[in-house]
């Protein structure tokens, strides 16, 4: 043996110790890289030796164990550290280990070795189960490595233990606290729920827990208090600040969502109610009455139906001389009286203005006549004490049995009403056959309209709509006009209903479609400009309509995305084959808008069944802006519309404040006399932008400039890049 070199021998002994050690050993370089690892280290940590070599030691250290830092400091100072620290396994679980770590150095480099042995105590060991001093010591050791805070007190409230986490989190030192009275050392506990709970645990010997804010350390904590075997109590604290924040954030989001949902539901209820009721008097409105009559007739088809058309004489005079408030008061009182006259089961509605309608079921002519007399008598009663507000009523009556058609009856009762008025008012008149002659006017309109189509008396005006964010014209709506050779300009409000009734709407509608696509082609050079046309429900009831539409697009070579169709809500209400037709229109690439939204049957649930790109809010809602109720309703509609991904256009904007309010409420676009009146194509303010700037605003119509300046006050102005598909900017309107 003599003469054999010692060094290799020593090295192999070292290797053997290293390889077979029951402790895990890691050798790390000064910069923290693992240089060597023995098999036991791999076993304890759950990595292979090779994997350990690539690891950052931070991975195996439990980062929540604040004592690692102290351990490294100690090693720095004294060359070696011994103590219990927490390590982390590959699977993320942690365990306590007796750790020795010492600085090592050779000729070339410095580093450290770390050896560790699993102490295998379990954290879940309750302090109650501690029986022997040895076990207690182990548990206390493991408490040291807890990520929770731990404080132990004896039966006299003297602090017996306090772990490193507690020192660190509560910024106290053991030397100072241990042996002291809990309430003296932590005076902030006195008077808190913590104190209540601790005292009750001490008193009852029952464990307890609570979550509360510990102000002294600005800490939300969860505390579990366990009575100890030998008297006294162990207190575990856990910082739950993060969890609470998450919970509160979730709670906030949920509350916001609940509020938004409630607002949308409220708006929907309000819409549904408003759709069927007159706002001023609370009576049914026209569409409400139609629905109610339909449902009665569906249940009892053979019912006799009598329509009483009631009009207040000289109501306009009251309104003009005494003002709207007085007028509204009169209408409200009269509405109540009507409801009083009506028998159970009769329906009472207000059609707007001073027009009321009562529908009686199965009333004899005598009974209806008597009720009409009662209504006239009721109207004579003064409304206010000094009897300034008084009017009378004229009434037209019409009835039918079996196959009653409400629209026909309404028309007949209306005609009878005129006869009552002609006969000197303050009376009722029955419709008779002779009165058919009085609808001659309507028939004349129909005849003239047929000729108008052949004689080219119709033309289209176009009204632009503006994107509220980019202040650009994004589309124009085609509105049909009739220049009658004798009557002059007749408004579409007058002749469209006639056309719809007599079926002329199909020819008229196709004429509009043909002219509108031709004009759209002339505007092909304006990027992104879409032309919208109004389409009557009757047109859409025709299954062949989508083909007609496609044929016209093809005839002029207009891309489908340059066209949109506006459909009224009433059309949407009776869905029948409408969905199918609209789907086919949509499939062509033509957009779909719901027109006059809010005036007809408004149920988002049903709208959702239809393909809809745009919701056009009726101008009555815009007129209501400025009242809190009007704004809330509009905000609700905007929310509903955005919820079904529809673009919101508000119609009939006439004032700057309406425009500003709409912008603030999140409406996407707006149109109205304030922005531009309907006009012939050559008078429309459309040009192609030459560069991306705001200079086009410089010469704006003064009202418009002012409007946009005020909108700009509520939100910053942005300017969208105007590319191929970009919107068209606004250009000066003729003053």
Return the C-alpha torsion angle 630, 634, 640, 641, nearest 10. Answer: 150
CB of 492 or CB of 732, closer to ligand C2E: 492
Residue at shortest CB range from ligand C2E: 672
Give the list of residues 6+ apart from residue 575 with CB closer than 8 angstroms, or none: 606, 609, 610
> Which helix (H) or strand (E) is 303 found in, with range?
none
Q: Report if residue 600 touches ligand C2E, rule: CB under 6 A.
A: no
Residue 492 binds which one of ligand C2E, Ca ion, none, with CB within 5 to 8 A depending on kind?
ligand C2E
Position among 491, 579, 657, 695 found at the interface with ligand C2E (CB under 6 A) = 491
Full strand arrangement of the beta sheet holding 428-430 = 347-352, 355-361, 304-313, 392-401, 428-430
Identify what 383 binds: Ca ion, ligand C2E, none; CB under 5 to 8 Å per kind: none
Least distance (Å) from ligand C2E to the CB of residue 571?
10
Residue showing tokens 């609209």 = 582
Stretches 77-85, 127-135, 489-497, 522-530: which one binds ligand C2E (CB under 6 A)? 489-497
Segment contacting ligand C2E (CB under 6 A): 62-70, 183-191, 649-657, 723-731?
649-657
| Among residues 57, 369, 492, 527, the one that binds ligand C2E under rule CB under 6 A | 492
Euclidean distance between CA atoms 431 and 725, whole angstroms: 58
Question: Residue 569 interacts with ligand C2E (CB under 6 A)?
Answer: no
Say whether residue 479 binds ligand C2E (CB under 6 A): yes
Interacting residues with Ca ion (CB under 5 A): 534, 566, 595-596, 651
Is residue 133 a contact residue for ligand C2E (CB under 6 A)?
no
Q: Decide which of Ca ion, ligand C2E, none touches 195; Cβ closer than 5 to 8 Å per partner kind.
A: none
Residues, the chain: 735
Nearer to ligand C2E, 151 or 505 (CB): 505
The residues in 447-466 that bind ligand C2E, with binding defined as CB under 6 A, are: 463
At residue 532, what are phi and psi to the nearest 5 degrees? -105, 140
Pairing of strands 591-597, 614-617: parallel
- 3-class DSSP state for residue 494? helix
Instruction: Give the one entry of ligand C2E, Ca ion, none that residue 667 binds, where binding means its C-beta sits below a cut-off of 5 to 8 angstroms depending on kind.
Output: none
Of 415, 512, 640, 650, the residue at the interface with ligand C2E (CB under 6 A) is: 512
Which one of 82-90, 165-173, 441-449, 671-679 is the stretch in contact with ligand C2E (CB under 6 A)?
Answer: 671-679
Cβ 701 to ligand C2E shortest distance, Å: 14
The yes or no reply on residue 536 touching ligand C2E (CB under 6 A) is yes
What residues pair up with 223 in beta bridges, in sequence order? 210, 237
Position among 152, 232, 678, 685 found at the interface with ligand C2E (CB under 6 A): 678
The token pair that represents 104 in the structure block? 């090592």
Q: Which two tokens stand for residue 551?
A: 């044929």
Could you please report the per-residue DSSP string of 400-450? EESS--HHHHHHHHHHHHHHHHHTTSSSEEE--GGGGGGGHHHHHHHHHHH
CA 672 to chain centre: 26
Which ranges of 644-701 does DSSP label H, i.e. alpha helix? Answer: 656-665, 695-698
Judge contact between 677 and 517, C-beta under 8 A: no
Residue 641 as a binder of ligand C2E (CB under 6 A): the answer is no
Q: How far is the CB of 268 from ligand C2E (least distance, A)?
A: 22
| 34 beta partners | 28
Q: 673 contacts which partner out of ligand C2E, Ca ion, none, CB within 5 to 8 A by kind?
A: ligand C2E
Nearer to Ca ion, 150 or 597 (CB): 597
Say whether residue 654 binds ligand C2E (CB under 6 A).
Answer: yes
Name 357's Cβ contacts closer than 8 Å, sequence gap at least 6: 289, 307, 308, 309, 310, 348, 349, 350, 351, 410, 413
Does 138 interact with ligand C2E (rule: CB under 6 A)? Answer: no
274/104 Cα distance (integer angstroms): 86
Smallest separation, CB 713 to ligand C2E (Å): 22
Binding-site member from 234, 327, 600, 672 for ligand C2E (CB under 6 A) = 672
Instruction: Quote the CA–CA distance of 274 and 618 in Å, as a whole number.
Output: 13
What is the rounded end-to-end Cα distance, in angstroms, of the chain? 118
Applying CB under 6 A, the span of 196-204, 261-269, 530-538, 639-647 interacting with ligand C2E comes to 530-538
Per DSSP bridges, beta strands 428-430 and 472-484 are unpaired
Report the partner that residue 491 touches, choosing among Ca ion, ligand C2E, none (CB closer than 5 to 8 A by kind).
ligand C2E
Shortest spacing between CB 532 and Ca ion, in angstroms: 7
Alpha-carbon gap, residue 121 to 135, rounded angstroms: 9
In the complex, the smallest distance separating the C-beta of residue 637 from ligand C2E, rounded to whole angstroms, is 16
As measured in angstroms, the least distance from the Cβ of 493 to ligand C2E is 5
CB 492 to ligand C2E: min, Å: 4
Closer to Ca ion by Cβ: residue 153 or 578: 578
3-state secondary structure 555-595: HHCCCHHHEEEEEEHHHHHCCCCHHHHHHHHHHHCCEEEEE
Cβ closest to ligand C2E, residue 165 vs residue 536? 536
* Structure token pair of residue 696: 């086009």
> 3-state SS of 590-648?
CEEEEEEECCCCCCHHHHCCCCCCEEEECHHHHHCCCCHHHHHHHHHHHHHHHHCCCEE
- Binding of residue 480 to ligand C2E (CB under 6 A): yes
Of 220 and 673, nearer to ligand C2E (C-beta) is 673
CB of 540 vs Ca ion, minimal distance in Å: 14
Helix, strand, or coil (residue 180): coil
Q: Taking the complex as a whole, how short is the minimal distance between the CB of residue 505 and ligand C2E, in angstroms?
A: 6
Between CA 701 and CA 415 the distance in angstroms is: 47
- In the bound state with Ca ion, the residue whose beta carbon lies nearer, of 130 and 567, is 567
SS3 163: coil
Of 38-46, 211-219, 244-252, 488-496, the window that binds ligand C2E (rule: CB under 6 A) is 488-496
Pair 401, 302: CB distance under 8 Å? yes
Q: Provide the b/e sequence for 52-91 (b: ≥16 CB within 10 Å).
A: beebebeebbbeebbbbeebeebbeeeeebebbbbbbeee
Specify the DSSP element, H or E, that contains 177.
helix 174-177
Of residues 278 and 595, the one with the C-beta less far from ligand C2E: 595
CB of 277 to ligand C2E, least distance (A): 21
Decide which of Ca ion, ligand C2E, none touches 153; Cβ closer than 5 to 8 Å per partner kind: none
Mapping DSSP onto H, E and C, the string for 504-555 reads CHHHHHHHHHHHHHHHHHHCCCCCCCEEEEECCHHHHCCCCHHHHHHHHHHH
Applying CB under 6 A, among 596, 625, 634, 661 the residue interacting with ligand C2E is 596
Number of residues counted as binding ligand C2E (CB under 6 A): 23
Residue 65 interface partner, choices ligand C2E, Ca ion, none, CB cut-off 5-8 Å depending on type: none
Given the rule CB under 6 A, which residues bind ligand C2E?
463, 479-480, 491-493, 496, 509, 512, 534-536, 566, 595-596, 619, 651-654, 672-673, 678
């Amino acid at each position: 043996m003599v003469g054999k070199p010692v060094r290799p021998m020593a090295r192999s002994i070292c290797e053997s110790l290293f390889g077979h050690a029951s402790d895990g050993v890691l050798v790390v370089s000064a910069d923290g890289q693992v240089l060597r690892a023995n098999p036991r280290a791999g076993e304890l940590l759950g990595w292979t030796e090779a994997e350990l070599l690539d690891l950052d030691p931070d991975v195996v250290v439990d980062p929540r164990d604040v004592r690692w830092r102290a351990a490294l400091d100690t090693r720095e100072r004294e060359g070696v550290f011994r103590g219990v620290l927490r390590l982390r396994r590959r699977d993320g679980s942690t365990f306590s280990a007796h750790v020795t770590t010492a600085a090592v150095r050779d000729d070339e480099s410095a580093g450290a070795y770390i050896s560790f042995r699993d102490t295998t105590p379990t954290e879940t060991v309750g302090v109650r189960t501690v029986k022997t001093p040895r076990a207690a010591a182990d548990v206390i050791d493991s408490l040291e490595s807890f990520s929770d805070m731990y404080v132990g007190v004896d039966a006299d409230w003297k602090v017996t233990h306090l772990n490193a986490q507690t020192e660190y989190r509560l910024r106290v030192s053991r030397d100072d606290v241990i042996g002291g009275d809990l309430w003296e050392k932590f005076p902030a506990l006195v008077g808190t729920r913590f104190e209540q709970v601790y005292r009750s645990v001490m008193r009852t010997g029952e464990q307890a827990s609570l979550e509360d804010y510990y102000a002294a350390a600005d800490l939300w904590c969860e505390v579990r208090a366990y009575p100890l075997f030998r008297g006294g109590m162990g207190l575990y604290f856990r910082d739950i600040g993060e969890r609470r924040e998450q919970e509160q954030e979730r709670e906030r989001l949920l509350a916001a969502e609940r509020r938004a949902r409630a607002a949308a539901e409220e708006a929907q209820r309000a819409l549904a109610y408003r759709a069927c009721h007159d706002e001023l008097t609370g009576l049914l409105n026209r569409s409400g009455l139609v629905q109610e009559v339909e449902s009665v007739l569906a249940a009892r088809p053979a019912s006799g139906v009598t329509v009483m058309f009631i009009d207040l004489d000289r109501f306009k005079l009251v309104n003009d001389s005494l003002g709207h408030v007085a007028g509204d008061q009169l209408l409200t009182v009269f509405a109540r009286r009507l409801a009083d006259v009506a028998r159970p089961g009769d329906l009472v509605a207000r059609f707007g203005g001073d027009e009321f309608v009562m529908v009686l079921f199965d009333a004899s002519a005598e009974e209806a006549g008597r009720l009409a007399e009662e209504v006239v008598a009721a109207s004579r009663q003064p409304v206010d004490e000094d009897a300034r507000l008084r009017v009378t009523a004229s009434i037209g009556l019409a009835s039918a049995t079996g196959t009653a058609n409400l629209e026909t009856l309404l028309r007949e009762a209306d005609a009878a009403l005129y006869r009552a008025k002609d006969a000197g008012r303050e009376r009722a008149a029955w419709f008779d056959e002779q009165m058919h002659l009085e609808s001659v006017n309507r028939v004349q309109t129909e005849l003239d309209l047929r000729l108008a189509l052949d004689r080219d008396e119709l033309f289209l005006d176009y009204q632009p709509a503006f994107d509220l964010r980019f202040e650009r014209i994004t589309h124009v709506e085609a509105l049909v006009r009739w220049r009658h050779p004798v009557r002059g300009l007749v408004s579409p409000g007058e002749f469209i209903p006639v056309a719809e009734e007599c079926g002329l709407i199909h020819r008229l509608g196709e004429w509009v479609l043909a002219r509108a696509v031709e004009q759209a082609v002339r505007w092909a050079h304006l990027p992104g400009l879409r032309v919208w046309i109004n389409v009557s429900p009757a047109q859409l009831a025709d299954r062949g309509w989508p083909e007609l539409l496609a044929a016209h697009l093809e005839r002029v070579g207009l891309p489908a995305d340059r066209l949109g169709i506006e459909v009224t809500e009433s059309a949407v209400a009776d869905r029948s084959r409408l969905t199918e037709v609209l789907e086919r229109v949509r499939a062509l690439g033509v957009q779909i808008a719901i027109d006059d939204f809010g005036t007809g049957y408004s149920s988002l649930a049903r709208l959702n069944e239809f393909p809809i790109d745009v919701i056009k809010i009726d101008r009555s809602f815009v007129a209501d802006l400025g009242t809190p109720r009007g704004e809330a309703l509009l905000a609700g509609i905007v929310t509903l519309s955005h919820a079904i991904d529809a673009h919101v256009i508000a119609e009939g904007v006439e004032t700057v404040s309406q425009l500003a309010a709409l912008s603030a409420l999140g409406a996407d676009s707006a149109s109205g006399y304030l922005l531009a009146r309907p006009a012939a194509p050559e008078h429309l303010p459309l040009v192609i932008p030459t560069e991306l700037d705001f200079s086009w605003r410089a010469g704006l119509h003064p009202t418009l400039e002012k409007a946009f300046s005020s909108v700009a006050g509520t939100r910053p102005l942005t300017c969208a890049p105007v590319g191929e598909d970009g919107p068209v900017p606004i250009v000066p309107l003729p003053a």
